[in-house]
Structure 1
């Protein structure tokens, strides 16, 4: 046994009941064992059996050397354990929860009952296994590690879920941004288009204002000229001698020359010329490019009014009254215009060249039972014949045929047909052609249709030349808002040695040109 233990009870010396004391013989025992042997002031050494006399236990001296030795041994033991733990660290993980303050040994166990870390001595004295649930440090370590790993995995899952939610939100925000950008771009385009329309309308208003100002000025000048001419006329009434007549006549001639030159200047004025001569063609050209339905309707109405306005401004008069009761039930003569209210039979205009002069216009209205209009001429020039068909609602078999029949010198020049408001007409055939036998020619044949035709029907427009040696040039057609289908708007037939027609249509046509065995087809509205 070592000196740190009592040889009698085998307990370690301490600072209490087991404090080490030394006898006169030199042997040591703990205070507890000496007290048990002390009797009548005497004590016997358990080692050498020598008897010693002491007045009391407290008078027996304490063995300070043994206590110091015990303390040194404990320090050495602790240092040794640290060295062992240090040397074993590379071989096994360092698993401990520190040094037990009571027993100076490492804590290697977990008391699950009291929820604290304990050492080996604690597991025997203070936490016996029968009363407490003792878990080795390795097992508790793995358990704690699994718990921490589970928490970390759970947090990672929460982070991934949050990240996915944020990504979905980002995608939704990006989608909304793209939609907003598209909407903004569309609005900007619409704004730019509106700005252009506003600028265009402002320019048109400015032009109209300029025209209005000029026309108003012309009206004032007309009034002034009228007043001057009326004054001249008054003075002529007051003339009583040839001398006065010569003087007034000289003044009148001078004034009339001024008036003629002024009128000529009006006709040559570019603005007025554009207003009365080129505005309609420009409108038709703009109408082809227009896609807005409301704007197109407005332009169609304006074109109709302009055609009628131009016709009203044209010189409209006839040298003779046409027909008799066999042809018309009633004829109303108006200034510069013939209005046929009811057509009962076929209208035939004969060979007399005095029937119609250049720039004559026929306006045909009413609801006849059969509309079969045929204008036939022999050995005459039609000139700038202009016919307006306005609102003919009857059933039409052969709408209109214009022709010249000549033995050599007849011609068909400058004829023009205008249709407006002729809706819901079958209009199976609309001829505008020249029938020539020799050297006659057809020039500038024109058809202008505004809202004419029948839905689902197929009107045919033909320019026909028969014979040899004749010519056909500048045959054109304009259709605005037609209701029929027009797969072949213009058909030119060449049947008897008329190659000039192909060249003419190719030159003047404004559509796709297709050459066939029977003729030339111009496909297009104009």
Structure 2
């Protein structure tokens, strides 16, 4: 009976207004919405006998009321079968917490218990559960809004810090010039002018930075820090300022020559992208060496891969890439999916040199946006040859031929595939390394020992955001 009132296309029971049964000239019946969808894809062919009905207007087909009338006798409630009497378990005892058939009610079941129809119990329970779920959803939505509010506050704070960073940098430059002018002053008049400028600078500094940063720390602490850290953060800031003042007094030969910029000497070789807030937009500037006090971000060079196997998450592997190499840029693009394909869904291929020197886990494919596997290179002119060779060490991430590892043949490799070394190979070098594991090597060991290794899948990947500089 149920099959007769079920649409063969969507497998749903016919329903008035929603899934009305209509019959094609060939005699087969389907719900109107399914036929509309079939015709929308091109030719209207009967899903059962493949007869063409291109001239038929689906919207004008009459409802098959004979079939529709039969649906009222079909219940969507699924009952179990009583193991004792073979009848449908249509009743529910609230006190026994058990399903009953009509015969169970009169054969051994305690009298006076609260019994109701199973269908009614299901509907009541559905309504109660729906209320609980909706309440939880409301709480989650409230937390989501709070998270967005805090995130917005963080962005606003970054914008303010960018503006202060530019002001701070200008102040450094002005103070440096003032210091040079003070040292060259040859008259009382020039010394007094310098004294006035120093007082003005101190007032500006007190208003703009000491007060502003202290209040900023206090405000952020209310939302983001436990009570025992609020004072620590503020005191740390003041101590930092005091330390700088002490260094400015005592100084050394380097600071006497250029006291203002001395604090940046150790960071001069750090590649950064400068942050700027301009016209209500947060801008990232071109990569450059960090050379002043403006707020900057270190150039990202660390990525992560999360591996799973057999339905279990093995953990996360963090890899620091050597970004002067094109192979590293290709790897980062696959972690982020910026060129289309990505590592999401990529599977391990095999383990080379298992339990021996130079043991490596190999991945030979990535996944395209069409969910296909490919091993074609995304970037041309990838580095090769001895100029880029390094010794094989534990945690090395590389691209190479299996023959280079002392096993297999040269064609066991492609321009995409990569290895993660889980053990070193003394006296052996490899020509195409482009990064190293900085944490999570134990996850790679677990992947190597999983059987079969081809079940190991990359389920998450991306970029590790760097720390703020200055």
Indicate the TM-score class for this superposition, using the shorter chain for normalisation: under 0.3
Q: Relative contact order (alpha carbons < 8 A, sep ≥ 6): 1 or 2 greater?
A: 2
TM-score w.r.t. structure 2 length? 0.24
TM-score w.r.t. structure 1 length? 0.22
Greater C-alpha Rg: 1
